[in-house]
Structure 1
């Protein structure tokens, strides 16, 4: 009976990706990263970390600069009040701001135990306001680091910052399961995906490796409403919740990160070095974050 239930669950999670097509949405960027769909703007917001710019891709209306001089932005998310969260890798902090034309910047996390963060890379927000982010050191951040480890962090709704893990390799992309009870983290150096169980208070436990020996260095992660995991690596790898490779979306450039968007949340946007791509799917993105 248990085998039968597992088989039914796998069938329900399965999707048909055979007819999906990858379309280039825009190009000419330095290094596209950290996409996020904004319902308020009806646009895809994404970062160009090399230029310090956050762009807005407006369907049918092209590309526009949304924010400039943003301190090496690499990831975006919304908090419970619709404020924009930004991982600023160059300024080595997590900040919050509004979508208004004259926004103020509020620093949420900049130091851990008195020492500056390495360079926050990616972040995810649970429905109840808990924030999770990765803090690896890359490039010049290695020489300027004050912490002797690459961390995965939890920022509670009250502003308390706690350390989840000190992985051996550098953590990169981060996302949540649809029900918000599992945290997924990509480890670029190890080419693995880690998972952590989250409780009602947002605390993490039961660290484990769920995928390894991936095709390429894993970056950004996302989940859909069925719990399937999307990984930006050499291409976009799509795995079922039980670890089966369902499909590979081939992209001309190496993908960096992912986001579901448009009104029905059934379009997957892919940032990939100098370009942004989109793929229309038959499944919605998860709304746990």
Structure 2
């Protein structure tokens, strides 16, 4: 007997419409630093309790993937070319490196002159850039972390540096200033230093937190306090604004099996929400091509 097969394909999910991925409260209020692998999973810090990294499957179920060393609390997460994970430890002034199979943790970079660090961005060759705010003083720094793990301060006292990303061609560094409500752009020079600071976009109200790029160089920016994610062109034009079902989205990544699902860490309900996008994420595409 041959089973009947419907001739109707499942309708694709509509673009830019947010839905919950996980249950309410599975993370702490420190939910942050989402990063996507190429198998459809998404990771974020502080799953169930502080000091952990959680792995969430496509169906919304999750588990503790990793426990950070005692006293450390993660923030930004990035994957490297060999599937290794880099984690910003904002308490210990570290960037950890996590091996993909053994999950062994080592200190990749440490600098006591860091305030935190907060979030991470990766250039095409593997160099990391780290945002480093000082919330008490309303200032911040930007660091370059070389392939040897050595951290060099590039900018100081610029403002409350937070979300950070490198453009698809590796020539522009974008940094969000949360209190300043701006996204700055810098030229990345041949030696990895930055110059030519300029404002891409200034928002009239509410703060901003994380930001990530798609393969076309458009930025997805979490508007903390506004409860939205905005898609911004490299020239600073708002292309989309998405309600993310909670007032305090902290960060975002683009991934899933095809790179076209946005995952947002949402503080108010301590959960992930997701929505479909039109183009794959830059970090996902780079990871998939390795």
Under TM normalisation by the shorter chain, which class is it? 0.7 to 0.9
Q: Distance in 1 between matches of 2:94 and 2:88?
A: 6
Q: Distance in 2 between matches of 1:279 and 1:102?
A: 29
Deviation at 1:19, TM superposition (A): 4.7
Matched residue, 1:36: 35
Matched residue, 2:237: 244
Q: Distance in 2 between matches of 1:102 and 1:179?
A: 31
Distance 1:280 1:163, change over 3 A: same
Is 1:165 the counterpart of 2:155? The answer is yes
Instruction: Give the unaligned 5+ runs of structure 2.
Output: 1-13
TM-score calculated relative to the size of structure 1: 0.83
Contact 1:52 1:72 in 2 (8 A): yes
Deviation at 1:116, TM superposition (A): 3.7
- With 232-241 and 160-169 compared, the bigger mean Cα shift is at 160-169
Is 1:124 the counterpart of 2:121? The answer is yes
Q: Distance in 2 between matches of 1:104 and 1:210?
A: 37
Distance 1:268 1:214, change over 3 A: farther
Instruction: Give the root-mean-square deviation of aligned CA atoms.
Output: 2.3
Moved over 4 A (4+): none
The partner residue of 2:140 within 150, 161, 164 is 150
Deviation at 1:228, TM superposition (A): 1.2
Is 1:226 the counterpart of 2:226? The answer is no
Contact 1:192 1:214 in 2 (8 A): no
TM-score calculated relative to the size of structure 2: 0.83
Deviation at 1:61, TM superposition (A): 6.0
Q: Distance in 2 between matches of 1:33 and 1:206?
A: 29
Matched residue, 2:250: 256
Q: Distance in 2 between matches of 1:136 and 1:93?
A: 14
Q: How does 1:1-289 map onto structure 2 within 5 Å?
A: 19-26=15-22, 27-28=24-25, 29-31=27-29, 32-39=31-38, 42-48=40-46, 51-60=50-59, 62-70=61-69, 71-101=72-102, 103-105=104-106, 107-111=107-111, 115-138=112-135, 150-233=140-223, 234=226, 235-253=228-246, 254-273=248-267, 274-287=270-283
Paired residue secondary structure (1:95): strand
| Deviation per residue, 1:106-150 (Å, 9 max, x gap) | x23222xxx4421110001112011100111347xx7xxxxx962
Contact 1:80 1:127 in 2 (8 A): no
Paired residue secondary structure (1:196): strand
Count of residue pairs brought into register by the alignment: 261
Instruction: Give the unaligned 5+ runs of structure 1.
Output: 1-17, 143-147
